[in-house]
């Protein structure tokens, strides 16, 4: 079943509350937009002071309409809106677009008014777009409430928290002449409907092939992730998320009052659900366009076909920077190319035709055909002068270029390998390039943009393949003992002790080295007997001492009874000095961990995105270099693998300076296990395994901390 | 005195060797180019088979010309060229452009032919552009030997190792309508003239305001750096260097056969001499254009004035990513803005006019005037719809926008603070934006490009300021003892022993902890007496043992006679086992270094750029993260400071996890000292201080290695 938004985002009738005959007013422009574009449904201007507007009969109120308006555009000031929504409800309107600002984005009083609007809307059974929205269009329905000129209907849907961003994309589309749009929504303050709802709508909309979002902040991050995950299975979702720096976050807040969240985390979570994240604003339209035409690639190996060395070199650099590979061309391919091109052509990827095509551009498609047939090639990038041979070399070549364009388009239709073109002449929009683009082969005027498209095609292919084998971390049934431990902690309003946290982990099968809790002389002697002369670490256990090392509550490398007895006494003395009234639960004894690679696993509950897992290497890698990976819980096995391989310091996991590689498989199992545990226990507010020592044959959790959610009823 | 290149790159007469009446031939097209553009000098087609070409009298040979041709364009095949150069010499030609390929870029035989061409040219006293060059133009002289259509004369000079890159830039300039060019040179194989010569020419050329280079590889890197350093003092030099990845380096080699060198190092060295390095090919023209109009900024604090929140947010993110800052606006500024704009405008940078200008774009220049007057502001970026108010809102606004453009241009002329504009409407090229650009205010269609321009303006300002206080590392007079040490090492064909290297460093004032060389029992007892119970490190000294640790030749934390004696014996035994015939010079004893932060300083002599110093943090930072900074020797004090602050791990030098900050000043002194030492001693082929331990109050050089240049005559 389709979402209810279709009723009013593809509306059969539209009322304009605050319609006006004043050409500077939005209530006039919106009507002009509808009329000029030939909107086929009923248009109802609402204005009690006049009889007609632009030749349409004006009504004094929503109640006086001859029938229900599927959608109402409200152009009146903020304070009028709660009352007007009552009228809308009585009319039977399904959705209202509220343009007015002056709500939560301004001050507390505005936020309160926003709450009143929401309550009135709920009472009236009307859904709200906005307030403080730039508006909506649905070009396939000829609904253009923004009165934007020169926008073509097409297959790119836009949801943008900035109206000017839409305008920028529309002007860019106008200038390249290719791209058209389906539906646009400005979510504004999202007091009712938000990004998730609009994305759901675009996902279901047959006229939209790619959903493209400009986001300053999500309000409903977890719901958005769930929707995006479903949509991305079949339709590309492109997101530009602003706020990559603190300055940008502050700027975004002053703009729409949205909660910006951590940029790096948000990007990781979006990618996890198959969203294509673009990081430069001038890449939004090129990437959306590429994905609307080509959808996906089944690998990252690119063949470059070039008629100029400079561009071939630049494209090679950009490809590799983007994590793509230059395909290694097979002998058969090279030999076939040798048969087509001049002897001086370079047949190793990037293929440089070295003048072979100057008088004969048709050879380009012959080469592309050979490249597409190579099993080592996943995508083909044509870079250079194609489209401009007739301009640069000889007028007569124009006809051959047109034939070549048709042949390239035909080849593109016959293969599932993406063909992408960068041409120096695309600024000029010569006929062969227009022909190519109209046949579904994207053409770019920047090598950088073309490569970003290839990258997006590859990421999307990888996501779809990974999604097909998606295997989420296994759900766990909560263990009764663990539940009891949480109950006990919650009753005393404390977090878990380290030994409790570790015991929890052990219960669910996490490798935590054996430790003994020493609370009295008998337990002390048992521990001495148990560990013999093993080298041990000794740590204080007290709910009153959080930073054990600072308190002198940790001693390392102790062995034998005398050592241990002295260490025990010293720790107690130091902790007493540190905090005289600290309640000491006991002392934890554990074998010193073998040397290995320190990693950190942390879980927190993000106010926007819910439970999120973080992975990184220990020490400076997290604290100084901020080299970490995030995923929303629950993780799939592919997510866990991707996290481990995403961090810049992954080379260290692979073994450097003579150290063996650590077992990434063991880390993956641990990540999945932690995901399952947190999923099963809402009592866990935060969890920190720091450090975990990773080895070539496994890992050891050396320290564990669990912050207990004190509000969760059990 | 100007370089001799002016004689033939701004030639008063041109001969075309291999001129032709066949319109597909280069010898025809070049003539057409000259004729169509109205070249005012003499044109001499050389072709023994015809009488006239395109109405010009043809000559059978260079010798038969009525006078010397300042420049000759040689269009004939490779093998004909040595002989033809003889003719050119006898004619008195100053320079020859050789288009033919088939030289060093192809194979050994070609390289040999190139050598013959060079010798013939030297004998004939003719300088060579190329071979394998795309050609040359000088639009102010109406010399367009590439027969490029639609290129405007202007102030950007281009040197490009790829002819298609020039073509791409020319087409981009044609599409934006603004940019014009002065001189273009394709250096080709650079068998005679190279990048340094052409840059020198552009530096002296009054028609060129910005020199812009596309470089695959330098042949004469050190000479280039010296020239660039001089030019950059007064004229911006913009370089795109390809080969940022291995794939790109390989592609570049197959293209022109140039030595690509390490990209990261090359970029550091170029920036050291004031070159603006752009890393994306689609930024070349925007950055060159911006620098041609605005030259420099005196700080990195940018005020953003926006009429749309989305673009303000994106610009803020990009600015901060580029190392620029959002200026903190003074109270006076905010109060003045309050007087101009609607109450809901955001007056904290980025300034968002929030609709204030929709009906009144003239307010934008009022705001810009206020911003320019703020002492906290170094540059102003206008982002949004300017130029499109008349299109988007009301036709009548067009006139006010034009007046506003004039006022902005006037403001730009009155301030030394750069004003840069990003407009969503720049694709459409409306009149106000054309007016702005023509008055010297750059206008961009990408926020990303606009920010790159601001970044370049800031870097250039910083370079000029730094250059004014440039203080190079002090020259040293070589110490006689050190010279003797080198002589001794060279006589035995060995490198310096560690103790010799350290002694060298001490001689020149580097802090190397006291060490004692123990060659016999007497020295052993002296050392025992000297060091008492200090904890010591002990290392074998032998020219036959390079990897001391592997050989068991290193022991740490020894103290007292017994310990030392045992350690000594064990080292000798281990080394004997490792290499029975190793000649053991003795054992080095040194106090264990205090704990601190490990850094590495290395010097090597790069085949292209000469002596280069590298700095980085020890261990994984160099080996895994490749987080290092390079500078050519000799360093200035600013260079040394910049190196220390450039690495990503600089936060560690500033102190993390409770560690104190290390003394960067001490490291700067050490870098300068190393620079001076290497400068004074050509005997040093490589030098490695690894590790140097940096402290809050200084540093200690713990290990030093000097590889001796065995070929340098003393």
Nearest CA of chain B to the CA of A20: how many Å?
16
> Is the CA virtual torsion B34, B36, B41, B47 positive or negative?
positive
Nearest CA of chain B to the CA of A476: how many Å?
37
CA–CA distance, A249 with A253 (Å, rounded to integer): 6
Of A214, A244, A308, the CB nearest to B317: A244
* Least confident among A149-163, A402-416, B650-664, B666-680: B650-664
Chain B residues with CB under 8 Å of A445 CB are: 172
Distances from the Cα of B673 to the Cα of B506, B634, B666, B668, angstroms: 11, 10, 11, 9
Q: Which residues of chain B have pLDDT under 50?
A: 257, 260, 713-714
CATH homologous superfamily for A296-467?
Succinyl-CoA synthetase domains (3.40.50.261)
pLDDT-derived band at A255, boundaries 50, 70, 90: low
Pair A131, A191: CB distance under 8 Å: yes
- 3-class SS letters over A608-654: CCEEEEEEEECCHHHHCCCCEEEEECCCEHHHHHHHHHHCCCHHHHC
Q: Give one word for B295, left, alpha or beta, with left for phi > 0 and alpha for psi -120 to 50.
A: left
Distances from the Cα of A528 to the Cα of A512, A553, A560, angstroms: 20, 19, 7
Q: B417 is written with which tokens?
A: 């603070």
Residue of B451, B460, B433, B463 whose CA lies nearest to B291: B460
**B514-592 shares the fold of B6-208:** no
pLDDT-derived band at A256, boundaries 50, 70, 90: low
Q: Does residue A1 have a pLDDT over 70?
A: no
Nearest CA of chain A to the CA of B313: how many Å?
5
**With an 8 Å Cβ cutoff, are A309 and B245 in contact?**
no
Contacts of B676 (CB under 8 A, 6+ apart): B473, B474, B475, B476, B508, B634
Nearest-5° angle of CA A377, CA A378, CA A383? 80
Predicted confidence at residue A254, as pLDDT, reads 58
Locate the chain B residue with the closest alpha carbon to A146.
B392
The ipTM value here is 0.92
CA–CA distance, B395 with B397 (Å, rounded to integer): 5
Q: What is the mean pLDDT of residues A632-653?
A: 92
Locate the chain B residue with the closest alpha carbon to A312.
B251
Burial (CB count within 10 angstroms: exposed 0-12, middle 13-18, buried 19+), residue B268: buried
What is the DSSP code string of A433-482? HHHHHHTT--EES-HHHHHHHHHHHHHHHHHHHHHHT--BPPP-PPPHHH
CATH homologous superfamily for A514-592?
ATP-grasp fold, A domain (3.30.1490.20)
Of A247, A316, A648, the CB nearest to B251: A316
Distance of CA A545 to the CA centre of its chain: 39
**With an 8 Å Cβ cutoff, are A216 and B255 in contact?**
no
Locate the chain A residue with the closest alpha carbon to B651.
A624
**Could you tell me which residues are beta bridge partners of residue A302?**
A326, A379
> Is the CA virtual torsion B666, B668, B669, B671 positive or negative?
positive
Pair B147, B16: CB distance under 8 Å: no
CA–CA distance, A582 with B590 (Å, rounded to integer): 46
Q: Give one word for B159, left, alpha or beta, with left for phi > 0 and alpha for psi -120 to 50.
A: beta
Contacts of A331 (CB under 8 A, 6+ apart): none
Query: What would the CATH number be for the domain defined by B6-208?
Result: 3.40.50.720
A281 has a chain B CB within 8 A of its CB: yes
Q: Does residue A713 have a pLDDT over 50?
A: no
* Least confident among A297-311, A468-482, A637-651: A468-482
Pair B311, B361: CB distance under 8 Å: no
Chain A residues with CB under 8 Å of B24 CB are: 359, 394
Nearest-5° angle of CA A442, CA A447, CA A448? 105
Q: Is the pTM of this model over 0.90?
A: yes
Nearest CA of chain B to the CA of A321: how many Å?
7
Pair B72, B44: CB distance under 8 Å: no
**With an 8 Å Cβ cutoff, are A164 and B346 in contact?**
no
CA–CA distance, B710 with B714 (Å, rounded to integer): 10
CA–CA distance, B668 with B246 (Å, rounded to integer): 32
B345 has a chain A CB within 8 A of its CB: no
Using the 8-state DSSP alphabet, how is residue B479 labeled? Answer: P
- Which strand (E) or helix (H) includes residue B597? strand B597-606
Nearest CA of chain A to the CA of B23: how many Å?
9
Pair A541, A498: CB distance under 8 Å: yes
Locate the chain B residue with the closest alpha carbon to A134.
B308
A307 has a chain B CB within 8 A of its CB: yes
Contacts of A484 (CB under 8 A, 6+ apart): none
Q: What is the pLDDT of residues B570-587, one digit of tens each?
A: 999 999 899 888 889 899
Of B161, B172, B314, the CB nearest to A281: B314
Q: What is the pLDDT of residues A375-394, one digit of tens each?
A: 999 999 999 999 999 998 88
CA–CA distance, A240 with A221 (Å, rounded to integer): 15
Nearest-5° angle of CA A255, CA A260, CA A264? 135
What is the residue extent of each domain of chain B?
Answer: 6-208, 296-467, 514-592
**With an 8 Å Cβ cutoff, are A254 and B348 in contact?**
yes
The two counts, helices (H) then strands (E), for chain B are: 25, 30
| Chain position carrying tokens 């090392």 | A549
**With an 8 Å Cβ cutoff, are B313 and A428 in contact?**
no
Q: Give one word for B150, left, alpha or beta, with left for phi > 0 and alpha for psi -120 to 50.
A: left
Pair B400, B321: CB distance under 8 Å: no
Nearest CA of chain A to the CA of B326: how many Å?
7
Locate the DSSP E strands across A76-162: 95-98, 127-129, 136-138, 143-144, 153-160
**With an 8 Å Cβ cutoff, are B321 and A424 in contact?**
no
Distances from the Cα of A38 to the Cα of A17, A137, A142, A285, B540, angstroms: 20, 13, 6, 27, 91
CA–CA distance, A565 with A559 (Å, rounded to integer): 10
Write out residues 448-467 of A within 8 Å (CB-CB) of B: 448-449
Locate the chain A residue with the closest alpha carbon to B177.
A427
A351 has a chain B CB within 8 A of its CB: no
In 10 A of CB B54, how many CB atoms? 15
A/B interface, count of CB pairs below 8 Å: 229
């Amino acid at each position: 079943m389709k979402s209810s938004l279709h009723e009013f985002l593809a509306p059969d009738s539209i009322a304009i509350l605050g319609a006006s005959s004043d050409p500077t007013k939005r209530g006039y422009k919106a009507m002009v937009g509808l009329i000029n574009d030939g909107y086929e449904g009923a248009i109802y201007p609402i204005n009690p002071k006049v009889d007609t507007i632009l030749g349409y009969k004006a009504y004094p109120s929503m109640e006086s309409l001859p029938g229900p308006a599927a959608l109402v555009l409200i152009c009146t000031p903020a304070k009028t809106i709660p009352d007007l929504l009552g009228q809308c409800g009585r009319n039977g309107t399904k959705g209202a677009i509220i343009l007015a600002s002056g709500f939560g984005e301004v001050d507390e009083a505005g936020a309160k008014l926003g709450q009143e609007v929401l309550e009135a809307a709920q009472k009236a059974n009307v859904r709200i777009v906005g307030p403080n929205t730039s508006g909506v269009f649905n070009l396939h329905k000829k609904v253009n409430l923004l009165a934007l000129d020169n926008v073509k209907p097409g297959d790119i849907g836009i949801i943008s928290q900035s109206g000017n961003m839409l305008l920028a994309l529309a002007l860019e589309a106008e200038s390249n002449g290719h791209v058209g749009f389906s539906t646009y929504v400005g979510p504004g303050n999202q007091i009712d409907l938000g990004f998730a709802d609009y994305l759901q709508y675009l996902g279901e909309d047959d006229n939209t092939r790619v959903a493209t979002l400009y986001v300053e902040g999500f309000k409903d991050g977890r719901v958005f992730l769930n929707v995006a995950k479903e949509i991305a299975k079949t339709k590309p979702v492109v997101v530009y998320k602003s706020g990559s720096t603190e300055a940008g976050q502050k700027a975004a807040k002053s703009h729409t009052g949205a909660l910006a969240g951590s940029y790096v985390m948000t990007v990781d979570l979006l990618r996890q659900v198959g969203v294509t994240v673009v990081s430069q604003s001038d890449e939004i339209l090129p990437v959306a366009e590429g994905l609307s035409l080509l959808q996906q690639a089944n690998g990252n190996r690119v063949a470059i076909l070039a008629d100029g060395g400079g561009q071939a070199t630049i494209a090679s650099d950009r490809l590799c920077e983007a994590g793509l590979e230059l395909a290694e061309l097979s002998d058969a391919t090279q030999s076939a190319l040798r048969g087509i091109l001049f002897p001086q052509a370079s047949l190793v990827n990037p293929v440089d035709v070295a003048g072979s095509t100057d008088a004969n551009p048709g050879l380009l498609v012959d080469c592309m055909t050979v490249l597409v047939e190579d099993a080592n090639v996943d995508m083909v990038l044509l870079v250079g002068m194609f489209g401009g041979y007739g301009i640069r070399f000889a007028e007569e070549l124009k006809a051959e270029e047109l034939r070549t364009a048709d042949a390239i388009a035909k080849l593109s239709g016959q293969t599932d390998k993406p063909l992408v073109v960068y041409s120096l002449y695309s600024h000029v929009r010569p006929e062969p390039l227009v022909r190519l683009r109209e046949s579904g082969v994207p053409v770019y005027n920047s090598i950088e943009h073309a490569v970003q498209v290839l990258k997006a095609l590859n990421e999307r292919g990888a996501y779809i393949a990974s999604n097909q084998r998606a295997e989420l971390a296994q759900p766990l049934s909560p263990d009764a003992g663990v539940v009891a431990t949480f109950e006990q902690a919650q009753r005393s309003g404390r977090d878990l002790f380290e030994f409790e946290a570790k015991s929890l982990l052990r219960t669910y099968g996490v490798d935590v080295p054996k430790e003994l809790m020493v609370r009295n002389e008998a337990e002390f002697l048992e521990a001495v007997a148990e560990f013999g002369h093993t080298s041990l670490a000794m740590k204080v256990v007290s709910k009153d001492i959080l930073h054990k090392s600072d308190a002198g509550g940790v001693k390392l490398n102790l062995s034998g009874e005398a050592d241990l007895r002295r260490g025990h006494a010293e720790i107690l003395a130091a902790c007493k000095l540190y905090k005289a009234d600290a309640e000491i639960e006991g002392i934890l004894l554990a074998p010193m961990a073998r040397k290995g690679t320190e990693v950190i696993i942390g879980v927190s509950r993000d106010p926007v995105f819910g439970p999120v897992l973080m992975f990184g290497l220990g020490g400076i890698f997290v604290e100084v270099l901020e080299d970490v990976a995030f995923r929303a819980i629950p993780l799939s096995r592919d997510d866990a693998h991707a996290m481990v391989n995403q961090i810049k310091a992954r080379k260290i996991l692979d073994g450097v300076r003579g150290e063996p590689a650590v077992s990434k498989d063991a880390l993956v199992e641990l990540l999945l296990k932690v995901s399952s545990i947190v999923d099963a226990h809402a009592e866990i507010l935060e969890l920190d395994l720091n450090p975990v020592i990773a080895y070539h044959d496994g890992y050891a959790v050396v320290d564990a901390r669990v912050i207990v959610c004190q509000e969760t009823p059990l």
